Amino acid sequence: MSQKYAGLDAIEKRCDQHGLDIEKIKSRLKKQHIETPSWGYGDSGTRFRVFPWSGAARTAREKLSDAAMVHKLTGVAPSVALHIPWDKVDDWLALKSYASEIGIELGAINPNVFQDEAYKFGSICHTDAKVRRMAVDHMLECVDIMKATGSRDLSLWFADGTNYAGQDSFRARKARMQEALQEVYDALPDGTRMLIEYKFFEPAFYHTDLADWGIAYILASKFGDKAKVLVDTGHHAQGTNIEHIVATLLDEDKLGGFHFNNRKYADDDLIVGTVNPFELFCIFNELVDAEMSESKVAASCAREVAYMIDQSHNIEPKIEAMVQSVINCQVALSKALLVDRKALAKQQAAGDVLGAYRELNNAFECDVRPLLAQVREEMGLHPEPLTALKENKYQQKIAEERGAKSGSGGGYPGA
Ligand code: PSV
Ligand code: MN
């Protein structure tokens, strides 16, 4: 007999009053898919210090095992993104079957073209054709890895940029970037996609070649349907309206995926939805709106979006942080599903500025925790994933087995 969670009545009442189908909402929540990143399970830090965490994953298999635990607890994190070469193994098929044994899948493949000595002045935008060749070859190797792992998405981010005006020619760099990416695009097997991520600064401080969604969109449009834009929520200037970007890309069939995280200032590794939960809700609201929309283009684009977390936790317990991240995405989706879209459209058409705002905000203010507990119970899970994590002692077990590395100066995860 299924238990009814305290507070679920309020949600049921809202659904009744607003003509929302609670069974449909629950079934959408059960289908949510949040991909976690392998690099979120290993030790990482800032350039000032890496604080070791007892139990941090040291190998690709350990990262998969941690990701499998996050999925076991939440039920909605069934795949793991890999970064190459951080997660490179000799036998991809063996890794793939290990993943499936522990109940997960290998997800997006992220080529790393920012850590080699050769990339000091860039990778695919470098003036030296030999360096560009090296970067393209690495991406082509990643396309081969995708064939072995069965991954759908090649997720691309470039650290390319300059630090001073005049350091290089913007247009020449743009041409080099386009030529390199075209070669990779042409190698993509059917059914796979290239996700083009942008970031307005860091590590370059004067200009970044792929700085914003406009540049990513231009490239993706030139290549074709398999090329889409990836929105990393932490990669915008303060105040940028991310939900507007999301809506625009959905409408153009060019939104490919997300890297979720949050930030107060400039770094982007905080847990998604912690600094600005309203922004995350507004992003999910656009996605749900597109999924339900009469526009076939936006609806089908929304259904194919890859929802990924991109966070390297520096001081947080890593598994707990990832479970919390997944929960925050569940909360945002639940609230977006509770928006009364018909009533909202009416308020918009009537020009009722604040009525429309309140219509949206009423969904944001719902306490969705009982709904999520109910959904989890129906999925055969513990209603509180963080309690289940504490109870199952997984973190103690890996701390004992793996121990802690000694700390070191900073660096990227996996460095
Ligand atoms: C860069 O800041 C980024 O967001 C890219 O997605 C990388 O692949 C990832 O972080 C890890 O460095
Ligand atoms: Mn990212």
Question: pLDDT of 216-257, one tens digit each?
Answer: 999 999 999 999 999 999 999 999 999 999 999 999 999 999
Atom 9 of ligand 1 has which residue's CA nearest to it?
310
Q: Which stretches of 122-250 are assigned E, i.e. beta strand?
A: 153-156, 161-162, 193-197, 207-208, 227-232
Residue 160 near ligand 1, beta carbon < 6 Å: no
Q: 352 or 47, which is more confident?
A: 352
- Say how many Å lie between the CA of residue 206 and the centre of ligand 2: 20
Residue 197 near ligand 1, beta carbon < 6 Å: yes
Q: Is 379 in contact with 72 (CB distance < 8 Å)?
A: no
The preferred substitution site among 310, 312, 412 for testing ligand 1, maximizing ligand atoms within 8 Å of CB, is 310
Per-residue H/E/C for 178-234: HHHHHHHHHHCCCCCEEEEECCCCCCCCCEECCCCHHHHHHHHHHHCCCEEEEEECC
Characterize the bridge pairing of strands 161-162 and 207-208.
Answer: antiparallel
The preferred substitution site among 43, 153, 259 for testing ligand 1, maximizing ligand atoms within 8 Å of CB, is 259
Q: Does residue 411 register a pLDDT over 90?
A: no
Question: pLDDT of 73-89, one tens digit each?
Answer: 999 999 999 999 999 99
The whole-number pLDDT of residue 406 equals 61
Question: Which SS3 state, helix, strand or coil, does residue 15 take?
Answer: helix
The whole-number pLDDT of residue 369 equals 98
Rounded Cα distance between 174 and 167, Å, is: 14
What is the rounded (10 degree) CA torsion for 399, 405, 410, 413?
Answer: -60
Q: How far is CA 306 from CA 48, 232, 344, in A?
A: 32, 12, 27
Q: Is 35 in contact with 79 (CB distance < 8 Å)?
A: yes
Composition of the chain by helix, strand, coil, percent to 5: 50, 10, 40
Q: What is the mean pLDDT of residues 29-46?
A: 96
Question: pLDDT of 7-33, one tens digit each?
Answer: 999 999 999 999 999 999 999 999 999
pLDDT band at 407 (very low <50, low <70, confident <90, very high): low
Rounded Cα distance between 341 and 346, Å, is: 9
Q: Mean pLDDT check: name the lowest of 135-149, 198-212, 279-293, 396-410.
A: 396-410
Helices (H) and strands (E) in the chain, counts: 16, 10
Residue 110 near ligand 1, beta carbon < 6 Å: yes
- Give the HSE-up count for residue 214: Cα atoms under 13 Å, Cβ half-sphere: 4
Rounded Cα distance between 353 and 46, Å, is: 43
Instruction: Work out which ligand 1 atom sits closest to the CA atom of 112.
Output: 8
Question: pLDDT of 272-286, one tens digit each?
Answer: 999 999 999 999 999
Cα dihedral 333, 339, 345, 347 sign: negative
Instruction: Work out which ligand 1 atom sits closest to the CA atom of 110.
Output: 8
Question: pLDDT of 150-161, one tens digit each?
Answer: 999 999 999 999
- Say how many Å lie between the CA of residue 27 and the centre of ligand 1: 32
Q: Does residue 410 register a pLDDT over 80?
A: no
Q: Does residue 414 register a pLDDT over 50?
A: no
The whole-number pLDDT of residue 47 equals 87
- Residue corresponding to tokens 């990262």: 63
Rounded Cα distance between 389 and 72, Å, is: 10
List the one residue out of 57, 114, 113, 52 whose CA is nearest residue 80.
Answer: 57
- Say how many Å lie between the CA of residue 33 and the centre of ligand 2: 17
Go through the domains of the chain in sequence order and give each one's CATH number.
Answer: 3-402 (3.20.20.150)
The mean pLDDT value of the chain amounts to: 96
Q: What is the mean pLDDT of residues 341-368?
A: 98
Q: What is the mean pLDDT of residues 165-183?
A: 98
Residue 157 near ligand 1, beta carbon < 6 Å: yes
Structure-token pair, residue 173: 């760099």
Whether omega for the bond prior to residue 189 falls within 30 degrees of 0, making it cis, is no
Rounded Cα distance between 369 and 331, Å, is: 7
Q: Is 132 in contact with 177 (CB distance < 8 Å)?
A: no
Q: Is 60 in contact with 85 (CB distance < 8 Å)?
A: no
pLDDT band at 408 (very low <50, low <70, confident <90, very high): low
Residue 259 near ligand 1, beta carbon < 6 Å: yes
Atom 11 of ligand 1 has which residue's CA nearest to it?
310
The whole-number pLDDT of residue 135 equals 98
Residue 152 near ligand 1, beta carbon < 6 Å: no
Q: Report the share of the chain in percent with pLDDT over 70.
A: 97
What phi and psi, each to the nearest 5 degrees, are found at residue 132?
-60, -40
Q: Does residue 409 register a pLDDT over 80?
A: no
Residue 236 near ligand 1, beta carbon < 6 Å: no
Q: Does residue 412 register a pLDDT over 90?
A: no
Atom 8 of ligand 1 has which residue's CA nearest to it?
157
Rounded Cα distance between 71 and 69, Å, is: 5
Q: Does residue 2 register a pLDDT over 70?
A: no
- Residue corresponding to tokens 């965490």: 53
Model pTM greater than 0.95? yes
Residue 232 near ligand 1, beta carbon < 6 Å: yes
Alpha-helix runs per DSSP H in 238-317: 242-251, 277-291, 296-303
- Give the HSE-up count for residue 409: Cα atoms under 13 Å, Cβ half-sphere: 1
H/E element holding 388? helix 385-392
